[in-house]
A = this chain, B = another copy of it.
Amino acid sequence: MTAAPAGQPFRQVALIGVGLIGSSMALAMRRFGLAERVVGCARSAETRAKALELGLCDEMFEDPAAAVSECDLVVLATPVGAYAAVAEAMQRSLAAGAIVTDVGSVKQAAIRDVGPFVPEGVHFVPGHPIAGTEQSGPEAGFAELFEQRYCLLTPPPGTDAEAVERVAWLWRSMGSTVDVLEPGHHDQVLAITSHLPHLIAYTIVHTAMGLEESTKQEAIKYSAGGFRDFTRIAASDPVMWRDVFLNNRESVLEMLQRFSEDLTALQRAIRWGEGEVLEDLFSRTREARRGVIEQHQAGSFDPREPKT
């Protein structure tokens, strides 16, 4: 099988994993006519049934090898810890000329785990859409998830340029801006912008949940003062995040070290009542928010409850 030509829809796409990201891709690919056929693969019968019921996929498979055999594009959209097993399972079924890509939140580990199983004549283009929510599963997806968001591609040296361009075209067609990054650099940047924020949010919610029962209940009742935002982030999928931390250990530990040093400095300023140090630091962080808003990456938070 040869891939469909540039700018043409893929003939058949396999989504390995149909959770938040996989289902959002299915919806966006259908909306924008980017694939003639979309098939999927999930472990559980429940997810497979749901994906069919929601019209996300034309056909669902339990076995990755069966899912990919007729496809010109395969998208790995499982937690990163499942990559090696999935890649090994589908290895012999991949069609010549097919492109394999992924959406995993860490990229060096993706290359390490998938690379060895990619046969000659198949192209692996690692990718990561910087878009998400705290929801997971096939019902969580929506077609606009990738609009106005960045998608990072991290092809190792020597990756087929045409394959990279095909994957870039897919993401652009779903509304994203595509940037190419070196995999190690990706993992470092994401350690500070995504992995550490999640780690911290999980920790602070954990700390609150460790307080005595009555205080813990009050923490939830009176959460509108800031805590609620952390509970949202800390409601993200436990397996996905376990795999992120296990697979981006070095960068996460490095950023955590810097963070801890900065926190210690602030702690000292509080202990010694150094008002100017606090005010000065709190003033400088506003710049970052202006940047996020200017870059249209802020999303929209409404402090009011959703109207029911």
With contacts A219-B193, A270-B249, A303-B299 known, is A282 near B224, CB below 8 A? no
Specify which chain B residues have a CB less than 8 angstroms from the CB of A278 in the assembled complex.
238, 241-242, 245-246
Number of interface residues of A (CB under 8 A): 107
Q: In the bound complex, do residue A221 and residue B297 qualify as a contact, i.e. CB atoms below 8 Å apart?
A: yes
With contacts A193-B223, A200-B200, A300-B302 known, is A249 near B232, CB below 8 A? no
Specify which chain B residues have a CB less than 8 angstroms from the CB of A233 in the assembled complex.
226, 229
CA–CA, A91 and B286, complex, Å: 36
A269-308 Cβ-contact flags toward B at 8 Å (1 or 0): 0110101001111111111110110011111111111100
CA–CA, A301 and B281, complex, Å: 27
Does A66 reach chain B (CB closer than 8 Å)? no
Task: Give which listed residue, B193, B223, B302, contacts A222 with CB less than 8 A.
Answer: B193
Does A231 reach chain B (CB closer than 8 Å)? yes
A243-255 Cβ-contact flags toward B at 8 Å (1 or 0): 0011001001101
Specify which chain B residues have a CB less than 8 angstroms from the CB of A145 in the assembled complex.
303
With contacts A203-B262, A221-B295 known, is A246 near B275, CB below 8 A? yes
With contacts A226-B197, A270-B246 known, is A238 near B279, CB below 8 A? yes
Q: In the bound complex, do residue B301 and residue A202 qualify as a contact, i.e. CB atoms below 8 Å apart?
A: no
Q: In the bound complex, do residue A239 and residue B206 qualify as a contact, i.e. CB atoms below 8 Å apart?
A: no
Does A110 reach chain B (CB closer than 8 Å)? no
Does A125 reach chain B (CB closer than 8 Å)? no
Does A192 reach chain B (CB closer than 8 Å)? yes
Q: In the bound complex, do residue A132 and residue B225 qualify as a contact, i.e. CB atoms below 8 Å apart?
A: yes
CA–CA, A145 and B304, complex, Å: 7
With contacts A273-B249, A279-B242, A300-B302 known, is A208 near B227, CB below 8 A? no
Specify which chain B residues have a CB less than 8 angstroms from the CB of A198 in the assembled complex.
226
With contacts A202-B282, A304-B144, A305-B296 known, is A227 near B197, CB below 8 A? yes
A211-230 Cβ-contact flags toward B at 8 Å (1 or 0): 10001011111111111111
CA–CA, A263 and B263, complex, Å: 12
A132-158 Cβ-contact flags toward B at 8 Å (1 or 0): 111000000000110111101000000
Q: In the bound complex, do residue A267 and residue B256 qualify as a contact, i.e. CB atoms below 8 Å apart?
A: yes
Specify which chain B residues have a CB less than 8 angstroms from the CB of A28 in the assembled complex.
none
A-B contact pairs, 20 of them (CB 8 A): A105-B225, A144-B304, A147-B304, A189-B219, A193-B225, A197-B230, A209-B284, A224-B299, A227-B292, A228-B292, A231-B298, A235-B289, A241-B282, A246-B273, A252-B270, A253-B270, A253-B271, A299-B302, A299-B303, A301-B302
